[in-house]
A and B are shown apart, each in its own frame.
Chain A
Amino acid sequence: MGASAKRKKEKQKDFQKPKLKVGKAKAKPENFTDTSFKAKSIVLNQQSLKLSAPSASSQFTHHVSLLSSKSDSQRRDSLAHLTTTIASRPVNSPLPQPVSLLLPSLLPLTLDANSGVRTNLLKLLRALPESDVADHVGQLLPYIRAGMTHLAPDIRVSSVEVLGWLVEVAGSEVVSCAGGWVKTLNCFLSVLGWHTEASSKWTTTESKPAASFGKAGAKGKPQVKVLSVLASFLDAGIGSETVDDDGDSDMDSGFPIRQFRSQMVPQTAAPYAYLNLFGKPRDEEGEMYETREDRWRVFEGRFLAAVEKGVEGARAEGGEVGRASAGVRKVLVEARG
């Protein structure tokens, strides 16, 4: 039959040799795969071809540059390396690189997606000398605030931790720098889900954090942490002032010339920041509130009711959260006092 003849021919085809011709390229086999490619540029990964081991300082710089690496583990490891280098340096010797150079590459990591990176970052920050950090509070705070309002709850919690560290190290700077008081308090309220009267018309659940969009973290623990940091933040801002006592003692000590301090060369990095010579005009939220009275006035006007209500709710909840709220309450009572 025709069909079988056809089939035979097809079978035959597989075993026929391709004819080779002089002067022509050899025919490509049927299953040939074209692996050639075109590229606009060819990237060679850098190779280190040095014979001698890199010096400690160059290694340090290298790891700083690796902080913006794409891989999570690379970032984490670099942070760990930096931490050990800083921590293990001889006491009172300067950092391999000044803090002002380190911070621009460190700060974006507050918003890093990987939790390992964030914990390592916190470790590194703790290792930094306290006196250097105080000058850079204004730079740090926007990142921390961005973290506190982040969609991901983990990032919120870890940036609250960073804020806790910052308040510990440089509490007075945090509350008195531009935007440090009102904006940060706003962020706290948003993290805790305590809302000012104007905004809370529609929230039905009062005690629970309303900023619950995204994956909820571990239930009680984060709130405890946030509450304790809030307590220390409020304490730094409107707590009883210990500075005045120092001032008095100073005055006493330099008896003949009482107010020589105001004539001295200022010790802070930006002593005239309150004049805001080069920045844009600030609004109410971004203003610097330098004295306790200022801060208390603003706090009383805008936040006191919400915070008190929130503390009441937290106390009613009891347990660890209730205990943590007691700290905040104590600060409030003292501040009123």
Chain B
Amino acid sequence: MVKRKLGALEKVEADLPNLQHKLRRDPKSYIEDFRAQHYQYESHREIFMAAPSSATDTGIISLRELIDFIAHVADSYPDITKDFGQELIDMLTQHHLLLEPELREKIVGSLVLLRKKDLMDSATLLQTLFPILISTPSKTLRALIFQKILMDLRSSNAKSTNHKLNRTMQTVLFNLVTSDRTSSKGLWAIKLTRELWKRQIWTDAKAVEVMKEAALAENEKVIVGGVRFFLGGDKEREEMEEESSDEEAIDIGRVKHQVGINKKTKKKARAVEKAKATVQRRERKKSQPHPLNFSALHLLHDPQGFAESLFSKHLQSSKSKLNLEQKLMVLQLVTRLVGLHKLHIMHLYSYFQKFLTPRQPSVTSFLASLAQASHDLVPPDDLEPLVLKIANEFVSEAAASEVATAGLNAIREICARQPLAINETLLQDLVMYRKSKDKGVVMAARGLLALYRDLNPEMLKRRDRGKDASMSLQHGEKQVKRFGAQDVGGIEGLELLEKWKEEERKRKRAEKGLASDEDDGEEEEEEEYNWDAWNVEDDEDSDDSGGWIDVQSDAEIDFSDSEDEDGNRPAKKAKQADQDKVAESQPENKLPSIATTRILTPADLAKLQELRQEAAVNALLPGTKRRGQTAEARHKDDALTAMEIEGLAALSAGKATREERIAHAREGKTDRSEHKSVTAKRKEKKEEQGKSTTNKEKARKKNFLMTLGKAKSKGKRSLVETRAVLRAHQDRQKRGGRRGNK
């Protein structure tokens, strides 16, 4: 029904907002008025409950307005309204299908309001709203309820994590997903979990478990939702974090300055307070330790079981109803799990066999998945036939250049993860493609070559090995990793620290005028310096709690002796080796000894962090060699995409549209708005800040007609007059303007 238009007089007579305002200011005096309105609400509710479907807009005041009114002032009269929330809940849960949309939304809004006023607890609210969310056919209501549920979860987790609520909610979602695997209702669980994951409200294994169950569901939408989460949820979270961290910076100085100039109002004062608070909050945030968030793939309880059941349920079984795109997504997840956790799935590699032909739609994704699925614990026997098949099907002179590129790239990616997957002859054959005519193929073949120069140069022909590789072969430095061999774990960037320390020591000696390699009694001094470094934190805090410093100095005695000897010996040896130019192979392996011989101080660790960052930045700079970047630069958690397999072919001229090419060209450049002169930019900036123009600019902008009279008379001036004017001008310049520079 169309809402009846209200006349002005009617509004005055039945002015609920006005009454609400008065109630707010003085709840005790108006209690009888409120009681009357509560009776009114009760009778309206009675009318409504008697016939919920036929409830129409009754007169001036509708039930909707009454509900709104009571919800707003409920906190002032808790004893009168103690049943109000429950009544709303009943109304909503029993009749949400029949309610008119506005009333329905109002009831939901009022429930949330009651929650905000703490007249209702979160659990009740969520238990009311969630069943409606998954059962209602109304799209708008679903959207509203979803938003409200999310908001409530966020706000109840805002100050501190509400573990109890989270746990119950996660259990509800888990049950929703597991109870009926064929229904699409699990989508809501996915949506909610994903959103909360993105906002870092839920970061625990239980949320991941919900998504895991979703991925193992039987409804396609739910499966895809779950799989998508594992493939993209963490990236989304990172992006969200970056977004929130680079909010627009507040220039507190400027804000203060503006307040000094402009009219002083309460509003402005409040704005300053707010700005101050924001800045303070950000400062505090900065100093807080970074929350340790594991990615969803790492939080899985049983990755092997999960990957296996995903594979057998969605990929292997003939009953699975997924289409190719969805299957690819599942495959991507399975292979990522395999690669990340180094799992073994028996039939995974033979499964790939039938998809590896150039005619297969989106074969590059299959290739990328295969590469992802290979790791150094996969038996080479499993991978070798696949690599051979790729080489046969994709890489030949007859094949199109894109196909060959994709094949070569795929082989390279597989071999980067499992170098034993290819035999020597095949490798040497493939490397020959670097003489091809197509650029993409050349690049791909070179990539393979570079990879094996790094990993196992012996497999290459002698002339292909390159200088570095052959030299290291001669020295016997390169050792081929055998199947199953594991790297000895170390601290990332430790060699950088060692190098830096060495340099520091040399520099100090040079300052003192000593020979750089001589050893004498200044180690003690160094030790002193080292023990100062232990107290990096304490110096800042400037609190001398004598207790544990004493303990430290005890420890010093124990360690210093052994450190003196061990810490310097290897370094000395290395130098001697350098001086003598002994070309023989060094028996010691190059493992950094610094971690095994001394305890790293906080200062050391800080320096280590700094050096690591520096190295990372340097690696990104152009000009540095990019050897073996495919293996190292990419983080282990990042997925391999079809784009990378396609390689340069993706960029080849015929395929990209103009927009794509432009976008690609823009990619590398920093974003700048327009090409403008420096002056114009400065001027713009000035205008933006609300500053005035200079005298020069004013003169330039002056209306022509205003200058006309002066110009006319200028021509008629006598010589004497001109001289006087010029002199006056000179004087003025000396003084510095009409007012003078005093």
Interface residues of A, Cβ cutoff 8 Å to B? 68, 70, 104, 107-108, 110-113, 139, 142-143, 145-146, 148-155, 179, 183, 186-187, 190, 193, 195, 199, 202-203, 210-211, 213-215
Q: Is the CB of B56 within 8 A of A150?
A: no
Contact partner, B32, options A107, A143, A145, A195, Cβ 8 Å: A195
Contact partner, B19, options A139, A143, A155, A213, Cβ 8 Å: A213
Interface check B35, CB cutoff 8 A:
yes
Q: Is the CB of A113 within 8 A of B39?
A: no
11 sample A-B contacts, Cβ–Cβ < 8 Å, listed by A number:
A104-B51, A111-B61, A113-B10, A142-B47, A145-B43, A149-B39, A152-B13, A153-B13, A183-B43, A186-B39, A214-B15
B32: A residues at CB distance < 8 A: 190, 193, 195, 199, 203, 210-211
Other 16 A-B pairs with CB < 8 A, given A202-B29, A214-B15: A68-B56, A113-B60, A145-B39, A149-B36, A149-B43, A150-B40, A150-B61, A151-B40, A152-B60, A187-B39, A190-B36, A195-B32, A202-B28, A202-B31, A210-B32, A215-B12
Q: Is the CB of B37 within 8 A of A143?
A: no
Q: Is the CB of B33 within 8 A of A213?
A: yes
Q: Is the CB of B50 within 8 A of A214?
A: no
Interface check B16, CB cutoff 8 A:
yes
Contact partner, A214, options B5, B14, B30, Cβ 8 Å: B14
Closest 6 CB pairs of A and B: A111-B59, A146-B43, A152-B13, A145-B43, A149-B40, A149-B39
Q: Least Cβ distance of A277 to chain B in Å?
A: 16
A153: B residues at CB distance < 8 A: 13
Q: Chain B, 1-45, contact with A by CB distance < 8 Å: what is the 0/1 string?
A: 110111100101111100100100000111111011101101110
A150: B residues at CB distance < 8 A: 14, 40, 59-61
Q: Least Cβ distance of B57 to chain A in Å?
A: 8
Contact partner, A139, options B2, B12, B50, B56, Cβ 8 Å: B50
B40: A residues at CB distance < 8 A: 146, 149-151
Q: Least Cβ distance of A102 to chain B in Å?
A: 14
B46: A residues at CB distance < 8 A: 142, 179
A214 to B37, CA, bound (A): 12
Q: Is the CB of A151 within 8 A of B19?
A: yes
A202: B residues at CB distance < 8 A: 28-29, 31
Interface size counted on chain B using CB atoms at 8 A: 38
A113: B residues at CB distance < 8 A: 6-7, 10, 13-14, 59-60
Closest to B11 in A: A113
A153 to B16, CA, bound (A): 14
* A151 with B13, Cβ < 8 A, contacts A111-B59, A142-B47, A210-B32 known: yes
A112 to B10, CA, bound (A): 10
Interface check B58, CB cutoff 8 A:
yes
Q: Least Cβ distance of B134 to chain A in Å?
A: 26
A199 to B47, CA, bound (A): 26
A70: B residues at CB distance < 8 A: 2, 4-5
B31: A residues at CB distance < 8 A: 199, 202
Closest to B28 in A: A202
B33: A residues at CB distance < 8 A: 210-211, 213
Q: Least Cβ distance of A14 to chain B in Å?
A: 27
Interface check B474, CB cutoff 8 A:
no
Closest to A108 in B: B58
A151 to B30, CA, bound (A): 13
A108 to B54, CA, bound (A): 11
Contact partner, A146, options B6, B15, B47, B51, Cβ 8 Å: B47
Contact partner, B59, options A112, A195, A213, Cβ 8 Å: A112
A186: B residues at CB distance < 8 A: 39
A112: B residues at CB distance < 8 A: 59
B19: A residues at CB distance < 8 A: 151, 213
Q: Is the CB of A215 within 8 A of B13?
A: yes
Contact partner, B13, options A108, A148, A154, Cβ 8 Å: A154
* A142 with B50, Cβ < 8 A, contacts A199-B32, A202-B29 known: yes
A307 to B54, CA, bound (A): 37
A152 to B19, CA, bound (A): 12
A211: B residues at CB distance < 8 A: 32-33, 36
A142: B residues at CB distance < 8 A: 43-44, 46-47, 50
Q: Is the CB of A151 within 8 A of B5?
A: no
A336 to B461, CA, bound (A): 121
Q: Is the CB of B28 within 8 A of A151?
A: no
Q: Least Cβ distance of B549 to chain A in Å?
A: 66
Closest to B40 in A: A149
A183 to B39, CA, bound (A): 8
B10: A residues at CB distance < 8 A: 113, 152
Closest to A286 in B: B46
A107: B residues at CB distance < 8 A: 47
Q: Chain B, 55-73, contact with A by CB distance < 8 Å: what is the 0/1 string?
A: 0101111000000000000
Q: Least Cβ distance of B199 to chain A in Å?
A: 38
CB contact list, B135-194 vs A, under 8 A: none
Closest to B16 in A: A151
Closest to B49 in A: A280
A154: B residues at CB distance < 8 A: 13
A203: B residues at CB distance < 8 A: 32
A195: B residues at CB distance < 8 A: 32
B12: A residues at CB distance < 8 A: 214-215
Most buried by B among A146, A148, A179, A193: A146
A193: B residues at CB distance < 8 A: 32
A187 to B2, CA, bound (A): 31
Q: Is the CB of B37 within 8 A of A149?
A: yes
